[in-house]
Amino acid sequence: MSQHEPHTTENLTESSAPPVSRRGFAKYLGIGAVVAAAAAVIAFFRGRDQAYPVTTIGQIDEIPVGGSKVFAYPQNDRPCFLLRPAEDRYIAFSRLCTHHGCPTFFQPQENVFNCPCHGGVFSAQDGRVLAGPPPKPLPQLILETRGNAIVALGFVKSA
């Protein structure tokens, strides 16, 4: 074909889309599978900081529905609350106020955590600040049940 010859549809197809061999296509599929697997792993661990220990913090049925207990996580000087708001539901929060670190107290009648130091109040549903000077919610733990054990995996990353 000369330089002045008009392009035909056939010519454009051949020049703009190089043929992909079966081997090349399989290679693209393989790369796609690896990328998809990596995305799944990232999604699985999203929200969990690998620096925190995996620790058993309680046992199923150890506390009654509506009850609570204090435990330490991730170190002995870091008290937390484990709550059982429903038969099959457990949630846990750091007990330490996000204002100046005073220990909070669970008030089951109002379903809140009260901080006696400066009047901070946190929701026991999700740890959000309801009143007072605390700048951030109470950190919530990531929990998992393994058999009869309730296991802490770290803290939910705040947005």
Q: Which two tokens stand for residue 47?
A: 């929200």
139 contact partners, CB below 8 Å, separation of at least 6: 93, 94, 98, 127, 155, 156, 158
Nearer to ligand FES, 117 or 151 (CB): 117
Nearer to ligand FES, 79 or 132 (CB): 132
Going by their DSSP bridges, the two strands 129-131 and 79-86 should be labelled as: unpaired
Residues that bind ligand FES (CB under 6 A): 97, 99-100, 102, 115, 117-120, 132-134
| Nearest distance in Å: CB 34, ligand FES | 48
Nearer to ligand FES, 92 or 96 (CB): 96
Q: Is 9 left (phi over 0), alpha (psi -120 to 50) or beta?
A: alpha
Residue 46: DSSP 8-state: T
| Nearest distance in Å: CB 103, ligand FES | 9
| Nearest distance in Å: CB 100, ligand FES | 4
